[in-house]
Amino acid sequence: MRPIDLASRSGVALRRAFQTQQLCQAAGSRQYSNITSLPPTYEKLHSKYTEVRRVLGAQRLTLAEKILYSHLDNAEESLLNNTNNGRDIRGKANLKLKPDRVNMQDASAQMALLQFMSCNLPQTAIPASIHCDHLIVGSKGADDDLQAGIQTNHEVFDFLESAAKKYGLDFWAPGAGIIHQTVLENYAIPGLMMLGTDSHSPNAGGLSTITIGVGGADAVEALVGAPWELKAPKVLGVRLTGKLSNWASPKDLILHLAGLLTVRGGTGYIVEYSGPGVETLSCTGMATICNMGAEIGATTSIFPYTEASARYLEATRREQAVKNAAAFQNFPGAGASEDAYFRFKADEGAQYDELIEIDLSKLEPHINGPHTPDLSTPLSQFKSTVQEQKWPEKLSAGLIGSCTNSSYEDMTRVESIVRAAEEAGLKPKADFYVTPGSEQIRATLERDGTLQTFEKAGGIVLSNACGPCIGQWKRQDGVEKGTVNAILTSYNRNFRGRNDGNLDTMNFLASPEIVTAMAYAGSTTFNPVTDSLTTPDGKEFKFPAPHGLEGPKTPFDIGKDVFKVASQPPNPNEKVAISPTSERLALLEPFEPFPNSDLSGLKVLVKVSGKCTTDTISAAGPWLKYKGHLPNISANTLNTAVNAETGEVNVAYDLDGSKHTIPELAKLWKERNQPWLVVAEHNYGEGSAREHAALQPRYLGARIIVCKSFARIHETNLKKQGVVPLTLANEQDYDKIAAGDEVATVGLYDMLQNGGKGEVQLKVTKKGTGEEFLVPVKHQVSKDQAGFILAGSALNLLSKSASV
């Protein structure tokens, strides 16, 4: 890995900024009292940060805390309430945050914008962008695929573009790039806080931002300027020492960490990296690590600002941002102590809730999978594991790139081994696909000859879009659904069916270099570090260890004009394009408010047993296309749930005994104005934070969900949509309630009126016998959430306050 050559570019200011910064850090901050003003974003951040220091006194803070707390609407209120006077914030405080911007991908942006539209505001309160990346199918290659994708999805793209024009949002057309790569290249600036309507939004933590993946309803809160609430996360520290070498790459660090922590290990935590090893990583390498932090369930991940971060900012033509960051870090404001300075790193002595140490020098490549990103195997043991587990030894395809791993460094490291193989006369034995993360990276790789190297080797370059990473992959190799087969990808997620819809495709995650070398072998048991291939003339060929450039020698090429961002002021005359006959988009009708009394006359639609994930409640796959059409997507509601009384999947019985699918019966009851509830077991709503899993039941007439326990995010989502989540005080009461029983609430209305304070019970009347009994239930309704429920939804409340 070689650093970008500063001397060959306009790096004078950058070098000076860093020299200044280093001097400052060595000699103390006093000599920078001549910095008297900051650009507006940092001015605001500094003033908020000063307030946080005032509230918390001498408390040592991690970098994540500095940035997060400096985005509080009211630092004193959030940090001192229920926190032992600020000593016990993590895991306790309710942070009410004001993010700097919102980034949305095309699938999730639809519902976010439909919700925003119902607030009737002329523009968003903070900047936002839309990225058309999820809906393009990868198949034959970039040009054909893009054209086909635009044709199939033009209605959705037209809607998104017209909404961008009306409300003044940045619009990145299909083919411009994948959301996280585009955000890193254009919007990420150290110290910002962003929300992204996608789980891998933390990618931007590689450039020292706090970026959190959220659902559309959360995004709307930020878009209308309301504070966005988050339980203060704990902080998991990862201290890095040493330096990566040979085949080991940043991807291997996160693959290894996922193995250590599992898919739930980061839940409720921000992962913060520190230590001397950080200085050895490229900015894009740090982004890869933060991106895949989503696979351990972390709220987000973050790295300190380093020289590599500054080099990346400059390579992406943001020299001013480098100067601003240096000025900001050296700005004392009115303070005199070291704490007056906002440094993009943790305070000396800051405590982590947990600390993991990793020596990068000892890290070897890892391969994770199949079917879960935390099943991690060191490369040296992979062959024996494949044989023991009887996983396929034939590798069907190698896919590199995506938002996770398509940096200049990744691609030039791959290029080095492809060139070596090409010179030896070798071609990949497995299909080999390359997905550039953005037009900027694609154009730069084309300019510098890297893509041509891949194409010469037989690689297919797909469009700058998600494609095979999100199931948008039309395979050309004849592998049918139901056929067990192995693929290797440098993506981040590998749940069953995610790539090609085939539950029997095993996706193993690895670095782009390992994926590529194994694609040449066409084998999952090949170890490029130790094994050789035979060339066409019978010689032994061993791959050299990969090497590449951290960034291009001259700044990135911005690529074709057609893919440039459309940035515009809001235009109130723009008509948002939604056809009344559309099958893919439908305007939202506000949900009715809570009645001025307790709920009565509810019926149990179905009692479900076992796991009931957000996927069970609102399936993805072919339903993705209806994300902007609530009535149409609601036809999948609970369609893989198990009926606890009969063991049947997706079956519910009407009061007269007639048999229906669950969504059919829900629709019938909606038409009859029959409100309903679902009874369920543990961890209801686990899985991805899919807001449709709350919206759809609400749309179809659900008023409460009663279960043994909830997944936290889904419980919050339900309240935002005006559905009351209640847990059984005595789990055995689950057995007493059945489908068709009538339920009324006792104390619910008073509890809501009292801002979430008070006891609630359910009065159950058995179907058939008319027997009545009371069931005590628990709730976690806060004052704000009581307001959402009473208003009918958070959106109703937001639009009311927005119109005042």
Judged by the rule CB under 6 A, the positions of this chain that interact with ligand SF4 are: 133-134, 178-180, 198, 200, 402-403, 466, 469-470, 491-492
Asked whether the beta carbons of 434 and 462 are under 8 A apart, the reply is: yes
Q: How far is the CB of 466 from ligand SF4 (least distance, A)?
A: 3
Nearer to ligand SF4, 206 or 237 (CB): 206
Tally the C-alpha atoms within 13 A of residue 383's C-alpha that lie toward its C-beta.
Answer: 11
- Number of neighbouring beta carbons within 10 Å of residue 144: 12
Nearer to ligand SF4, 48 or 134 (CB): 134
The Cα–Cα gap between 177 and 187 comes to 14
Nearer to ligand SF4, 332 or 398 (CB): 398
In 511-558, alpha helices (H): 512-521
Q: How far is the CB of 406 from ligand SF4 (least distance, A)?
A: 9
Asked whether the beta carbons of 201 and 212 are under 8 A apart, the reply is: yes
Residue showing tokens 């590689």 = 206
Query: In 3D, which of 288, 531, 235, 325 has the Cα closest to residue 408?
Result: 288
Nearer to ligand SF4, 198 or 715 (CB): 198
Q: How far is the CB of 236 from ligand SF4 (least distance, A)?
A: 22
> Phi/psi of residue 778, each to 5°?
-115, 160
Q: How far is the CB of 562 from ligand SF4 (least distance, A)?
A: 21
Counting beta carbons within 10 angstroms of the beta carbon of residue 299, is it exposed (0 to 12), middle (13 to 18) or buried (19 or more)?
A: buried
- Active site (catalytic) residues: 133-134, 198, 493, 688, 690
> Phi/psi of residue 650, each to 5°?
55, 45
Q: Are strands 94-97 and 234-241 parallel, antiparallel or unpaired?
A: unpaired
What is 673-715 written as a DSSP string?
T--EEEEE-TTBTBSS--THHHHHHHHHTEEEEEES-B-HHHH
Q: Give residues with Cβ within 8 angstroms of 535, minimum separation 6.
A: 424, 425, 426, 541
Nearer to ligand SF4, 200 or 311 (CB): 200
Burial 273-291, CB ≥16 within 10 A → b, else e = bbbebbebbbbbbbbbbbb
Q: How far is the CB of 468 from ligand SF4 (least distance, A)?
A: 9
Burial 499-523, CB ≥16 within 10 A → b, else e = bbbbebbbbbbbbbbbbbbbbbbbb
Task: Quote the radius of gyration of the chain (alpha carbons, Å).
Answer: 27
- Partners of 725 in the beta sheet? 705
Nearer to ligand SF4, 180 or 584 (CB): 180
Q: Which helix (H) or strand (E) holds 229?
A: strand 228-231
Q: How far is the CB of 180 from ligand SF4 (least distance, A)?
A: 6
Q: Give residues with Cβ within 8 angstroms of 390, minimum separation 6.
A: none
Extract the tokens encoding 339: 């704490």
Nearer to ligand SF4, 170 or 339 (CB): 170
Q: How far is the CB of 217 from ligand SF4 (least distance, A)?
A: 20
Q: How far is the CB of 780 from ligand SF4 (least distance, A)?
A: 30
The Cα–Cα gap between 471 and 429 comes to 23
Tally of residues, the chain: 804
Q: How far is the CB of 421 from ligand SF4 (least distance, A)?
A: 26
Nearer to ligand SF4, 185 or 319 (CB): 185
Nearer to ligand SF4, 278 or 510 (CB): 510
The Cα–Cα gap between 492 and 258 comes to 11
Nearer to ligand SF4, 306 or 438 (CB): 438
Nearer to ligand SF4, 274 or 402 (CB): 402
Crossing angle (nearest 10°) for helices 408-423 and 512-521:
20
Q: How far is the CB of 433 from ligand SF4 (least distance, A)?
A: 13
> Phi/psi of residue 267, each to 5°?
-60, 130
Q: How far is the CB of 506 from ligand SF4 (least distance, A)?
A: 18
Asked whether the beta carbons of 247 and 545 are under 8 A apart, the reply is: yes
